[in-house]
């Protein structure tokens, strides 16, 4: 006798199937006779439903319009749930698991996309076409109704658009999982392909011109340390003398300053409390900076840990302090991340160098270190990456283009070894 496929069972001479839907086991009668052929067809139907549920495209009402679960839902289906309402609910529930800066980024991106789609739009009326139109609008900066959205001169980058679409996918997956919508219209929208951005470091010829163009010694020391350590700018703004051991020639990275002005742990777990080994150029910059800020009074602040709503009072003496030498009293005890980015742009212009983003200071450290023969694992550790995979992904092409320097280094090292062996053999 033919066995029943998984999820298929008899029901008074007919067949019914079961499947897991939103955390509950659902039984639905098929209304077909219990025959071997129908059992096979029921099993295939059930497998297809399971796949649709898994991919987020299952429409329960159209598949089983007479199901008992819809008998008492007429009022609920008529209730309008707006995009803004579901977004507010999702962000509220998401907040405890995110760092403050990450939450603000989510909130900002969701606000923009919801405004473009329509805050008061019924979430049940949103179609896949709406998301594809939104994606095009984000890419081009041109709104579907014929007006420029917030008069953007150009569209957003592919990375930014993928991030915004990823936020909406998470939002609508939440809505689907909690019964606000019968199917997820974003389920089959794939991220846009993007090219890997190549690093654009300062060259060895550009670096002296850049440093010479810095308008103060303190800014000179800041960017020297940034390029010689690969530290993130928020980590440098939050760097304190208590984190530095000039005898051991190390920096312990213990905190980060966000663009909102909050002191938090560094960006990733691998970045937190990592020990950076200082090269001579970094040590000289710090020794020069001591003259300006080492004896400044400590500054009190709240340190926001990764635990939700936890703040720890702390006080530190910051290495870079804009109030030193300031003409007026409008400066605080540490630089902001935005103001540091402005000094980079200004210095590039003053030096007559081609513009690139301030983050290239970090790329400069990595490229120079790899060109000098540093182990990629060491570079990854110094920069706060979990492993060397990120180094290979970002700098792989650049490393291949600089193989000539690697060959020169190998020739130098191997020639020393070969000459030593030959000398030993001749002596013997």
Indicate which residues carry an active-site annotation.
Answer: 232, 267, 362, 385, 395
Place of tokens 């030993």: 424
How far apart are the C-alpha atoms of 359 and 349, rounded to whole Å? 16
Question: By C-alpha distance, which of 350, 396, 408 is closest to 370?
Answer: 396
Place of tokens 């060895």: 204
How far apart are the C-alpha atoms of 114 and 127, rounded to whole Å? 14
How far apart are the C-alpha atoms of 143 and 153, rounded to whole Å? 12
How far apart are the C-alpha atoms of 240 and 251, rounded to whole Å? 9
Residue 168 C-beta-side C-alpha neighbours within 13 Å: 33
314: β partners: 301
What DSSP string runs through 29-70? EEEEE--HHHHHHHHHHHHHHHHHHHHT---HHHH-TT-GGG
Sign of torsion over alpha carbons 390, 391, 394, 400: negative
How far apart are the C-alpha atoms of 148 and 154, rounded to whole Å? 10
CA distances from 25 to 9, 19, 146, 339 (A): 14, 6, 48, 56
Supply 7's token pair.
Answer: 């999820």
């Amino acid at each position: 006798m033919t066995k029943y496929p998984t999820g298929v069972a008899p029901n008074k001479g007919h067949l019914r199937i079961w499947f897991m839907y939103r955390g509950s086991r659902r039984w639905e009668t098929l209304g077909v006779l219990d025959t071997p052929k129908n059992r096979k067809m029921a099993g295939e139907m059930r497998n297809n439903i399971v796949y649709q549920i898994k991919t987020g495209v299952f429409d329960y009402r159209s598949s089983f319009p007479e199901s008992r679960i819809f008998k008492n839902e007429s009022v609920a289906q008529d209730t309008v749930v707006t995009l803004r309402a579901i977004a507010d609910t999702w962000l509220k529930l998401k907040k405890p698991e995110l760092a403050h800066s990450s939450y603000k980024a989510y909130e900002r991106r969701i606000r923009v996309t919801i405004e473009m789609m329509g805050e008061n739009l019924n979430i049940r009326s949103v179609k896949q076409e709406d998301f594809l139109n939104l994606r095009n609008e984000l890419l081009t900066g041109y709104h579907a109704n014929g007006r420029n959205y917030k008069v953007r001169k150009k569209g957003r980058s592919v990375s930014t658009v993928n991030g915004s679409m990823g936020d909406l996918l998470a939002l609508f997956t939440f809505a689907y999982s909690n019964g606000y919508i019968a199917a997820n219209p974003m389920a089959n929208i794939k991220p846009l392909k993007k090219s890997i951005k190549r690093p654009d470091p300062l060259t060895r010829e550009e670096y002296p011109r850049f440093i010479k163009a810095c308008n103060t010694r303190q800014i000179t020391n800041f960017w020297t340390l940034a390029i010689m350590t690969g530290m993130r700018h928020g980590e440098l703004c939050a760097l304190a003398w208590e984190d530095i051991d000039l005898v051991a020639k190390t920096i312990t990275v213990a905190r980060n300053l966000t663009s909102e002005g909050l002191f938090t742990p560094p960006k990733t777990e691998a970045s937190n409390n990592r020990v950076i080994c200082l090269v001579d150029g970094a040590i000289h910059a710090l020794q020069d900076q001591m003259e300006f800020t080492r004896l400044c009074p400590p500054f009190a602040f709240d340190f926001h840990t990764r635990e939700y709503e936890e703040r720890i009072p702390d006080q530190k003496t910051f290495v870079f302090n804009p109030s030193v030498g300031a003409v007026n009293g409008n400066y605080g005890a540490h630089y902001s991340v935005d103001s540091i980015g402005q000094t980079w742009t200004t210095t590039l212009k003053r030096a007559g160098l081609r513009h690139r983003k301030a983050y290239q200071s970090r790329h400069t450290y990595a490229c120079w270190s790899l060109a000098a023969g540093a182990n990629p694992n060491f570079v990854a550790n110094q920069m706060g990456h979990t492993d060397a995979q990120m180094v290979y992904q970002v700098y792989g092409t650049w490393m291949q283009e600089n193989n000539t320097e690697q060959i020169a280094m190998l020739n130098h090292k191997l020639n020393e070894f070969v000459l030593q062996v030959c000398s030993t053999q001749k002596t013997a």
